Amino acid sequence: MWKVLRPNRANLVIWQWLLLVLSFVLWYVLTSPTLLPAFYFDDPNKAAFFFGEPQKVLVRIWEWFASGEIYLHLWITLIETVLAFALGTMLGLGVGLWLALSPLASALFDPYIKAANSMPRVILAPIFGVWFGLGIWSKVALGVTLVFFIVFFNVYQGVKEVSPVVLANARMLGANRKQQLRAVYLPSAMSWVFSSLHTSVGLAFVGSVVGEYLGSARGVGYLILQAEGTFDINTVFAGILVLTAFALILDAIVGMLERRLMKWQPKSGETEKI
């Protein structure tokens, strides 16, 4: 019998940070013209031009936060992401419940849902820019289109996966349609919703940044676009690192919310012990 080894949390965090440090060290070595001979570019300085220099990237990030320049842009990106995430989740939850509980409506809208889902939503960004302008709402609209389908399909599947035995027991106990929705369908759907929220918040974030990149006057995506226009690769990588850290923070917040709201759900392995 194979024994499953669970890593110690503290040791795991230490190794994760060590891996991050090693990645930066490797980046520095590969882009430093004096440490290694040119093995890819004929000119060693080209590596730093194409891939940046980590020490300059970190200095740029420090300057952003020390001067306060980054905060307004981060705030705009955060607002766009949160609004897209909230609206997309609510719409996906509502429409998913409605179609899952209404076979006629589900059959009627099925081809249109599939057609809309197959459409590359990024191509809608210019249209949203015309409709809503270059403010936050065009970015929110793009993020909503990305989040909606992830939540919708998970809610739809969650409702369809409701145990017939549990549903029959609820009906036998006299639960009406509203009580069944609250006590049976919603708990089943929510477990599927939370499994998709980590992906959803990432897509909301992507929608906001892509929208900023395609047309805006504020936001971290706008900073990256400006840096690309001047071939400032170090600022581009600085923006990418800031966005990555920002996305990880948002994902951690969603994880905390999931653990808080899903306490009723048994942990992995507990059901097997019963």
117 exposure class (CB count in 10 Å sphere: 0-12, 13-18, 19+): middle
* Packing angle, helices 136-160 and 69-101, rounded to 10: 40
What does R_g of the chain's alpha carbons equal in angstroms? Answer: 24
pLDDT at 269: 46
SS3 220: helix
Q: pTM for the full model?
A: 0.74
pLDDT at 1: 43
One digit per residue, the tens of pLDDT, for the chain of length 274 reads 455 556 677 778 788 888 888 888 887 777 776 655 555 555 556 666 677 778 888 888 898 888 888 888 888 888 888 899 889 888 988 888 888 778 788 788 888 888 888 888 788 888 888 888 878 888 888 889 888 888 888 888 777 766 666 666 666 666 666 666 666 666 666 667 777 777 788 888 888 888 887 777 788 888 888 887 788 888 888 888 888 888 888 888 877 777 776 655 555 444 444 4
Give me the residue label for tokens 């081809």. Answer: 111
The domain locations on the chain are 9-51, 53-266
Instruction: Region of 269 please: left (phi>0), alpha (psi -120 to 50) or beta.
Output: left
HSE value, Cβ hemisphere, 13 Å, CA-based, for 184: 22
- CA torsion through residues 230, 235, 241, 247, sign: negative
pLDDT at 122: 80
pLDDT at 170: 66
Nearest to 52 by CA among 241, 240, 244, 236: 236
Nearest to 220 by CA among 50, 123, 75, 82: 75
Alpha-carbon gap, residue 189 to 154, rounded angstroms: 7
pLDDT at 198: 75
Alpha-carbon gap, residue 138 to 29, rounded angstroms: 41
Alpha-carbon gap, residue 233 to 222, rounded angstroms: 14
Pure H helices in 6-124: 9-31, 45-51, 54-67, 69-101, 103-118
Q: Does domain 53-266 have CATH number 1.10.3720.10?
A: yes
| DSSP letters for 118-164 | HS-GGGGHHHHHHHH-SSHHHHHHHHHHHHHHHHHHHHHHHHHT--H
HSE value, Cβ hemisphere, 13 Å, CA-based, for 38: 9
Instruction: List Cα–Cα distances, 43 to 57, 228, 233, in angstroms.
Output: 21, 22, 17
Residue 110 token pair: 């099925």
pLDDT at 9: 72
Instruction: List Cα–Cα distances, 233 to 143, 184, 226, in angstroms.
Output: 27, 53, 11
Alpha-carbon gap, residue 110 to 104, rounded angstroms: 10
